[in-house]
A and B are shown apart, each in its own frame.
Chain A
Amino acid sequence: MCRCSGSRRQNFFTDGGRELFDCAGQGRIDVFFLSGGQIDGAGNINLVSVGDYEHPKARFPGSFGSSYLYYVVPKVILFRLEHTRRTLVEKVDFISAPGTSADNVYRPGGPIALITNRCLFAFDRARQALPARQRASRAHASPR
């Protein structure tokens, strides 16, 4: 399994990702943070590649457990320090994990916010049926 150089004292999991995923499935993880090479206004995240899938312009490490955690953790906070049109796109090139799902899909989890180095967006889950958009709720404290 995953061997990290991290702290035993500061991490109550003893068996890495397996325990995290079990806890998440049991509803015992309230908040989780996810990012992406690209993030779009519908809350979709891309952790796979940019450009044509067969001939990508950039290849990222991969989706790993992001889609599962996005579905089961109630409050997922998206973060991306680089706030540009390159990273915050209209539509991601590959959906590692979708921001919302159809009403008949069991999905207690999903995004509540996206924070960047410029601002904090709140995600409005009630509008998922509409063209999903995000609402700038707060500008970052430090002006750029």
Chain B
Amino acid sequence: MIENTGFDFDRPADVPVTPAPSPRRCALLRTVVAPQLAEVYPQFAAERVQGSARSV
């Protein structure tokens, strides 16, 4: 992180890890949210939301 960041930043001794989204939330994003999102951002919805379903 430090190697790849051009500015200084504070950090705690133990950097907490963001919990992964629950399967329920992932399913909601892919089945309910993604089709609505695709109306506005079709490429993003296809690559980042629905596409991630295939890669996970």
A-side interface residues toward B, CB under 8 Å? 6-7, 9-11, 40-42, 83-86, 88-90, 118-121, 124, 131, 133-142
Contacts and interface: CB of A to CB of B under 8 A. Distances in A.
A7 B10 contact: no
A85 B40 contact: no
Contacts of A140: 18
User: Which of B4, B8, B11, B36 has the largest count of A CB atoms less than 10 A from its CB?
Assistant: B4
B18 A133 contact: no
A135 B11 contact: yes
Interface SS majority for chain B: loop
Interface SS majority for chain A: loop
Contacts of B20: 141-142
B16 interface: yes
A90 B9 CA distance: 10
Contacts, number: 79
B19 interface: yes
A139 B15 contact: yes
Interface of B: 1, 4-12, 15-20, 36-37, 39-41
B48 to A, nearest CB: 10
Contacts of B10: 124, 133-136
Contact of B39 (A7, A41, A86, A141): A7
Given A134-B9, A135-B10, A10 B4 contact: no
A117 B41 CA distance: 20
Contacts of B11: 135-136
